[in-house]
Amino acid sequence: MAEVSMCSSSGSELSPDEERIMIRDIALAAQANSKEGDSFFLITQRWWQHWIEYVNQDQTNTSYDGSSLSEHCDLVNSIALKRPAGIDNSDLIDDAVSEDSGMGIEIHDTLLEGRDYVLLPQEVWNQLFRWYGGGPTLARKVISSGLSQTELAVEVYPLRLQLLMLPKNDRFAIRISKKETIGQLHKKSCEIFDLQPDQVCIWDYYARRKHALMNDMDKTLDDANLQMDQDILVEVINNTINTSFAQENGSAQRQSNSVLVEPSKSSLSIAGGLSASKGASRGYNMDLSSSQNLNSTVRDVENPYGTSGVTTRGSLGGLTGLLNLGNTCYMNSAIQCLVHTPEFARYFREDYHREINWQNPFGMVGELALAFGELLRKLWAPGRTPIAPRPFRSKLVRFAPQFSGHNQHDSQELLAFLLDGLHEDLNRVKHKPYIRSRDADGRPDEEVADENWANHISRNDSIIVDVCQGQFKSTLVCPVCNKVSVTFDPFMYLSLPLQSTTNRTMTVTVFASDGAALPSPCTVTVPKQGRCRDLIQALSNACSLKHNERLLLVEIRNHWIHRDFEDPLLLLSTIKDDDHLAAYKISKIDKNTKYLQLIHRRREQSNDSHIISGWKPYGTPIVSLISCDDTVTRGDIQVIVNRILFPLLRKGGNVEQATTSETSIPKATSDQCSFTSDDDACAANMVSNSLSKDSTNSKAPPMPTLPLLLVDDSNACIDLSMGEEKVVKLSPSSPKVLVYIDWSQKLLEKYDTHPLETLPEVLKYGPVTKKARTEPLSLYTCLEAFLCEEPLVPEEDMWNCPKCKERRQASKKLDFWRLPQVLVIHLKRFSYSRSMKHKLETFVNFPIHDFDLTNYIANKNNSRRQLYELYALTNHYGSMGSGHYTAHIKLLDENRWYNFDDSHISPISEDEVNTAAAYVLFYRRVKTDDDAVSNGA
* 172 within 8 A of 231, measured Cβ to Cβ: no
Rounded distance between C-alpha atoms, residue 415 and residue 205, angstroms: 38
Query: Counting every residue, how long is the chain?
Result: 937
Nearest to 801 by CA among 812, 792, 789, 809: 809
705 alpha carbon, distance to own chain's centre? 62
Nearest to 341 by CA among 422, 245, 243: 422
**DSSP 8-state code for residue 661:** B
**How many separate helices (H) and strands (E) can be counted in the chain?**
23, 40
* 225 within 8 A of 261, measured Cβ to Cβ: yes
Q: Which residues contact 191 (CB under 8 A, 6 or more apart)?
A: none
Task: Give the 3-state secondary structure of residue 467.
Answer: helix
- Helix/strand/coil (H/E/C) assignment for every residue in 765-825: CCCCCHHHHHCCCEHHHHHHHHHCCEECCCCCCCEEECCCCEEECCEEEEEEEECCCEEEE
Burial classification of residue 745, based on how many CB atoms lie within 10 Å of its CB (0-12 exposed, 13-18 middle, 19 or more buried): exposed
Residues with a catalytic annotation lie at 329, 884
Say how many CA atoms lie within 13 Å of 558 toward its Cβ: 3
Rounded distance between C-alpha atoms, residue 722 and residue 215, angstroms: 104
Rounded distance between C-alpha atoms, residue 335 and residue 21, angstroms: 45
* 822 within 8 A of 922, measured Cβ to Cβ: yes
Compute how many other C-beta atoms are within 10 angstroms of the C-beta atom of residue 906. Answer: 9
Nearest to 507 by CA among 569, 595, 575: 575
Compute how many other C-beta atoms are within 10 angstroms of the C-beta atom of residue 537. Answer: 17
**DSSP 8-state code for residue 280:** S
Rounded distance between C-alpha atoms, residue 793 and residue 811, angstroms: 10
Rounded distance between C-alpha atoms, residue 132 and residue 6, angstroms: 8
* 778 within 8 A of 844, measured Cβ to Cβ: yes
